[in-house]
Amino acid sequence: MTSLDDIDDLRSWLELAGKLGEVTTIGGAHWDKEIGAASEANYRRPSPPALLFDDIVGYRSGQRVLTASMSNARRLGLTLRLGTDLDDRALVEALRSKPGEWAANAGRYPVREVPTGPVKENVTAAGEADLLAFPVPQWHEADGGRYIGTGCAVFTTDPATGVLNAGAYRMQVQNGGRAASVNIEAGKHGAAHVREWFAREGRAPVTASFGHDPLLLVVAGTEVPAGISELEYAGAVLGRPVDVIRGEVTGLPIPATAEIAVEGWLYPDRREQEGPFGEWTGYYSGGTEAVLTLDVERIYHRDDPILLGAPPGKPPHDYSYMRSVMKSAMIQDALIQTGLPGVEGVWAHEAGGGRQLLAVAVDQRYAGHARQAGYLTAQLPAAAYMNKFVVVVDADVNPRSLSDVVWAMCTRTDPADDIETMRQTWGSRVDPLREKGAAPFNTRAVIDACRPWNRLASFPKVAESGAELMDRVMRRWPDVLGGPR
């Protein structure tokens, strides 16, 4: 019987998620846009199941693709080893202070090097390497190609310290399957490593895993502080070290239980046209660029490997829920650490990709408190990249409900007085509003959707039933009304 403690790869994760009724299998989909479109339809459902694609057109039965791995509270709670019966709020509460603890404890879990592992069941050398031997999807209709790396972990090292980094940087299949471009945005830790290797050695070693315990996607795709190895951070989540093998060519680690992995070197002048790709903003906003490309030196894979897909796109997308929960907990922790009192809750809404729209609930304690919460949130390191709106609401408003947040804006914000803007703030190359060639600044707004401080006592009463009356009617007609809240 698999329990949370037994999960050490994607297969044991799937077994447990399957037992909980959280996985649906789909047969006969085509890698060319159908897997992507079916996944997209699934993300739009409330609390979508994970989708496991098998019998993919043109590929052997057993060569599978998984999407929506962490698109609800149950599977994200399972992945973070926090429990499988938490709702959105309870998950954020359970997660609060954990990212800081995991970072602090990471050093106690150095990776455990093992001589071999399931990932070495099949090893292909450069001459025969073909990434298209796997059912790599063309995810969106207007993508520039097939992306093997979406739910991936790309491993690099700091040549000076040897510290390992894992980042989820998308990888597009190039050169008929013999190469893959690695799209690392400037400013990411992997980009600094590659730059440093180029300066010292003229090339940068890289390994990448394309199917693993989704926990590795969370740690690779989340801003873990520089200098901390994401694999050690994952070890701190698990309470035991992660097993790795060494790549035969580069010597860099590869998770021993990975489904599919590659290794090779990046060279400063080895680039291929990459993109366009449906981005997390919901647009093909990154365009096409010449991007560093890895000629594949080795492919390692298990028998009947499972590709972990995590395509972004117009939200809700594959990992927008994961991003929302991780960001909400990290921002709430950081906000409380500033010393700001009265923080009742934070939610990073999926509609803004977990970055652009943040709602913060505060129990107003003094004049200026609401604006202070808004300004601080908008510039916290955990929140600043690509934030557009911070909406501050009173403690009686549920920050996780888009409807309640918008209602508070409609009824407690005076647009002429209560919207503050900031300029030349930290934007992104993928912002659809950025003019071609312009520096990636953005502007942002703090929307004060709290009752005005000087009218707190006299502000009209909210027209909704009190908790006691509501509870009474819910208990009286549970079948009709859905039971007590």
Ligand X SMILES: Cc1cc2nc3c(=O)[nH]c(=O)nc-3n(C[C@H](O)[C@H](O)[C@H](O)COP(=O)(O)O)c2cc1C
Output 78 or 386, the one with its CB closest to ligand X.
386
Q: Which residue is nearest to ligand X (CB)?
A: 221
Minimum distance, C-beta of residue 66 to ligand X, in the bound complex (Å) = 13
Minimum distance, C-beta of residue 415 to ligand X, in the bound complex (Å) = 33
Convert 97-160 into a string of H (helix), E (strand) and C (coil): CHHHHHHHHHHHCCCEECCCCHHHHEEEEHHHCCHHHCCCCECCCCCCCCEEECCCEEEEECCC
Q: SS3 helix, strand, coil % of the chain, rounded to 5?
A: 30, 25, 45
Minimum distance, C-beta of residue 30 to ligand X, in the bound complex (Å) = 22
69, 217 in Cβ contact below 8 A? yes
Cα 306 from chain centroid?
19
Minimum distance, C-beta of residue 89 to ligand X, in the bound complex (Å) = 22
68, 50 in Cβ contact below 8 A? yes
Minimum distance, C-beta of residue 204 to ligand X, in the bound complex (Å) = 14
Minimum distance, C-beta of residue 312 to ligand X, in the bound complex (Å) = 6
Q: Which positions touch ligand X (CB under 6 A)?
A: 150-151, 165, 167-170, 183-185, 188-190, 220-223, 310, 319
Output 287 or 452, the one with its CB closest to ligand X.
287
- Name the token pair of 162: 């040897």
Minimum distance, C-beta of residue 184 to ligand X, in the bound complex (Å) = 5
Please give the torsion angle defined by the CA atoms of residues 26, 30, 33 and 35, in that order, rounded to the nearest 10 degrees.
20
Radius of gyration of the chain (CA): 23
- The sheet with strand 179-182 has its strands ordered as 147-149, 171-174, 179-182, 289-295, 271-274
C-alpha to C-alpha distance for 331 and 215, rounded to whole angstroms: 20
266, 294 in Cβ contact below 8 A? yes
Minimum distance, C-beta of residue 274 to ligand X, in the bound complex (Å) = 9
C-alpha to C-alpha distance for 315 and 368, rounded to whole angstroms: 33
Q: Alpha carbon of 176 to those of 146, 173, 266: distances in Å?
A: 10, 7, 18
Ramachandran angles phi, psi of 263, nearest 5°? -145, 160
If you write DSSP's letter for every residue of 416-484 in order, what string do you get? HHHEEEEEEEE--TT-TTSPTTS-SEEEEEEEEESPPGGGTTTSPPP-S--HHHHHHHHHHSHHHHTS-
Output 157 or 222, the one with its CB closest to ligand X.
222
Minimum distance, C-beta of residue 401 to ligand X, in the bound complex (Å) = 25
